[in-house]
Amino acid sequence: LRIGRLAAALAALGVRPGSTVAMMDYDSHRYLEAFFAVPMMGAVLQTVNVRLAPEQILYTLNHARADLLLVNGEFLPLLAAIRDQLETVRGFILIADDPAALPAGFAGEYEALLAAARDDYDFPDFDENTRATTFYTTGTTGLPKGVYFSHRQLVLHPLATAAALGTAPDSGRLDRGDVYMPITPMFHVHAWGIPYVATLLGIKQVYPGRYEPDTLLRLIAAEQVSFSHCVPTILQMLLTSPAGQSADLAGWKVVIGGAALPKGLAAAALERGIDVFAGYGMSETCPILTLARAGSAGDAAAQVEARVKTGQPIPLVELRTVDEDLRDLPRDGRTAGEVLVRAPWLTQGYLDNPEAGAALWAGGYLHTGDIGSLDAGGTLQITDRLKDVIKTGGEWISSLDLESLISQHPSVSEAAVVGVPDEKWGERPRALVVLKPGHAPDPEALRAWVGQAAAEGRISRYAVPEAIDFVAELPRTSVGKLDKKLMRQRLA
Ligand code: AMP
């Protein structure tokens, strides 16, 4: 009913097939309503990354030619900073839980508009390849690039994801008995598309607003949330926050993606009874490509190994690993190269950026920009980003493996490894480490820890870093990923 009313209200404000409706909100039931109402009208929903700098948000709204903007009252100061430079936005709708006065120039407040709208909106029928959503990637270089997805893609992705998650025999399963709460923003790849999966399954959904550890933990307990997903940083933050240290999180299923799941974090989560496992994808891929299949076999160490695997492709995903000439590499679980992919739900290019789109799709496969290996069973392991690969003495070493290893040392909370230029070796790895509270910096102990792994053949002997920096926190991007570009700049 509310989706129909939202569509009627938007139509009354001039939204037509092909219009672009932009949304600036925290995760909310209203966002979910827009996930459906806007595309079902034949219009395009632009999910705005509210964590970008104001000038970048301005760029994305102008570039996408947004017609109408739905904005949470908390972002009004941000909007004020860019409003007079918006080139195409003709109207504004306020989203607020207890709206005071309507700001000048606003067409209305969300709930008031819905209350006044008819509920017999007649959703049109149209081609399944019609564009449904768009949003902008948040790379560390250059201008944000717009990706886009069609109705067909937004139907096939949840069907395949539901098939993959719903058929997991023991751990990592999502079914009709679950309660779902995202902890990956709805503006970022539709919260990994899981709101569409949850709606498809008809399960209870909890949308937490702004991500604050205490709110998230309270909702998990009060609403009996059983399934979530987030980047590693958020899980780390929840487990170490004062309230999180004593919270009962047993049985909570959490997909970790957006960055590799470090073994140290996986072990800490498993100890708390959390059913944690990795998923892999990117903005360009809608996003899910693979999910780790953990099962319940093996001891604690085997469980950690299984859960940090980048995973098995979900149905309809075809993966390749290739060399520089796009020749397939052996599926031996060791040989690493760029990961290429095909699936029915990948962005077909970048909005109004044909050169970048052609590069993304060079050779007829989408280039992920990630380095990884496949094994004979088709399981993928990402070892690095192409941009972050460390080449030392002619050999690639995996920064993700090294980070994962260091994160398992008892004194370490988090670790990042980047390559720094070196006259003799080309590059050498350098580790940045955040210690757990109460631990003193001991670079020799950490070097010995890595050295031991190298002696046992678990990592390359070239991977032992000479230098380890102890830092209070690691630089991160707007979506909470390690900002390695900034780390390299600072170290240079
Ligand atoms: P984004 O487009 O911001 O969602 O970022 C996508 C990128 O995050 C991928 O290209 C990978 O480099 C990284 N990523 C996502 N999931 C994983 C994972 N499970 N393991 C390693 N890297 C990941």
pLDDT in tens, 348-391: 999 999 999 999 999 999 999 999 999 999 999 999 999 898 99
Residue 433 has pLDDT above 80, yes or no: yes
Q: Is 258's C-beta closer than 6 angstroms to any atom of ligand 1? A: yes
Residue 187 has pLDDT above 80, yes or no: yes
87 counts as catalytic: no
Q: Is 260's C-beta closer than 6 angstroms to any atom of ligand 1? A: yes
The label of the residue with tokens 């008892």 reads: 410
The whole-angstrom separation of Cα 50 and Cα 377 is 40
Pocket test for ligand 1, best of 233, 289, 290, 370 (most atoms within 8 A of CB): 370
Please tell me the distance between residue 287's alpha carbon and the centre of ligand 1 in angstroms.
9
Amino acid at 176: R
Q: Is 338's C-beta closer than 6 angstroms to any atom of ligand 1? A: no
Q: How far is CA 440 from CA 131, 216, 298, 412, 447, in A?
A: 54, 31, 34, 10, 15
Looking at residues 476-491, what average pLDDT do you find?
A: 88
Pairing of strands 288-291, 275-281: antiparallel
Looking at residues 7-18, what average pLDDT do you find?
A: 98
Please tell me the distance between residue 115's alpha carbon and the centre of ligand 1 in angstroms.
41
Q: Is 65's C-beta closer than 6 angstroms to any atom of ligand 1? A: no
140: which 2 tokens? 């560390």
Q: List the residue whose alpha carbon is closest to atom 21 of ligand 1.
A: 260
Q: Is 47 exposed, middle or buried (0-12, 13-18, 19+ CB in 10 A)?
A: buried
85: which 2 tokens? 């430079």
| Helix orientation angle between 263-271 and 399-407, rounded to the nearest 10 degrees | 40
The whole-angstrom separation of Cα 294 and Cα 304 is 9
The whole-angstrom separation of Cα 72 and Cα 94 is 6
pLDDT digit string (tens) for 28-59?
A: 999 999 999 999 999 999 999 998 889 999 99
459: which 2 tokens? 């990592």
Which residues, in sequence order, are bridge partners of residue 69? 22, 92
- Count CA within 13 A, CB hemisphere, residue 172: 26
Which residues, in sequence order, are bridge partners of residue 135? 147
The whole-angstrom separation of Cα 138 and Cα 479 is 8
44-47 sheet: strands from edge to edge: 108-109, 91-95, 68-72, 20-24, 44-47, 131-136, 146-150
Poorest-pLDDT segment among 71-75, 325-329, 390-394:
390-394
Among 55, 87, 212, 391, the one annotated catalytic:
391
Q: List the residue whose alpha carbon is closest to atom 15 of ligand 1.
A: 258
Residue 428 banded pLDDT, cuts 50, 70, 90: very high
284 counts as catalytic: yes
Residue 140's pLDDT is what?
Answer: 62
Please tell me the distance between residue 13's alpha carbon and the centre of ligand 1 in angstroms.
38
Q: Is 368's C-beta closer than 6 angstroms to any atom of ligand 1? A: yes
Q: How far does CA 334 lie from the centroid of its chain? A: 26
The whole-angstrom separation of Cα 289 and Cα 333 is 18
55 counts as catalytic: no
Residue 255's pLDDT is what?
Answer: 98
Q: Is 280's C-beta closer than 6 angstroms to any atom of ligand 1? A: yes
Please tell me the distance between residue 183's alpha carbon and the centre of ligand 1 in angstroms.
16
Please tell me the distance between residue 325's alpha carbon and the centre of ligand 1 in angstroms.
23
